[in-house]
Amino acid sequence: MIIASKFGFDITPEGQVRGVNSRPDNIKRVTEQSLRRLKTDHIDLQYQHRVDPTVPIEDVAGAVQELIREGKIHHFGLSAAGEATIRRAHKVQPVTAVQNEYSVWTRDPELEVLATCEELGIGFVPWSPLGMGYLTGTVTPLMVHGPADLRANLPRFTPEARRANWPVVELLQRVGARHQAASGQIALAWLLARKPWIVPIPGPTTQDHMDQNMDALQVQLTAADIQEIEDGFAQIKVQGARLSVPMLAMIDTGAKLGTSSKGGNGMSPLR
């Protein structure tokens, strides 16, 4: 079993997130807490959850390096990080994996991060590979999200945006019909076909969802399938920002999206 965990949010004793905190002392404190909770002597992969604009990434990488030398962490990962941050961190402590949002309808990493990972030999772990469930076709334009559902506050999940973006699901369904596969399975198969070092991390909440996701491993997309997805998607203008403004403010999207390497208000080019 491989254990991956994260540090980087400033969390109150009540469990409320009040910002980011990647100060070296906090990294070490959070790691020790994780080791106790997980009842283990090491964490295989420890990610920085969000880039902290107040702490140089070199200091973050240095703190993780100390924990690696102590045997408490085996590998260092970054999440929601841009190219410059990845390169700077990698110079201090080799980065094993980068976990950014990437899917058929969110292509930001293609601008710079994927090429950087390939160049440096870093694995890429797409989060939200199913578009928070939308690409499975189960989040219909008429569905009502409860107040506790994160998607209720996201621009891409308004009824109008869901209706406008439905052609993305239909595109995946057309390809899936040839493979006897659901649209979500095609979305995962598309990611798996990109590069061998890209490993998506969907978040199933039921055993049935887990089984469906695992079955995507059996779907072998042809070059024609992939081209159909690319050509079809090029004709679709995705509506709505992928995250809320406060959430986007914590994303280190990189210079090519007009933000600094230390974070900023990067917006998806698909908006």
Q: Give the domains, in start order, of the chain with CATH numbers.
A: 1-127+247-270 (3.20.20.100), 130-240 (no CATH)
Ranges of the chain with pLDDT below 70: 244-248, 253-271
pLDDT tens by residue, 195-252: 999 999 998 889 999 999 999 999 999 999 999 999 999 999 888 778 766 666 777 7
Q: Exposure pattern of 142-167 as b/e (b: 16+ CB <10 Å)? A: eeebeeeeebeebbbbbeebbebbbe
The confidence score (pLDDT) of residue 244 equals 62
| Model-wide pTM > 0.75 | yes
Range list of H helices, the chain: 24-38, 57-69, 83-92, 113-120, 159-179, 183-192, 207-215, 223-234, 245-248
Count Cα atoms within 13 angstroms, Cβ side, for 221.
27
The confidence score (pLDDT) of residue 148 equals 75
| Two tokens, residue 87 | 């390169």
| Two tokens, residue 59 | 């200091």
Tell me how far CA of residue 1 lies from CA of 130, 196, 247, in angstroms.
24, 21, 31
The confidence score (pLDDT) of residue 254 equals 55
**CA of residue 4 relative to chain centroid, distance:** 14
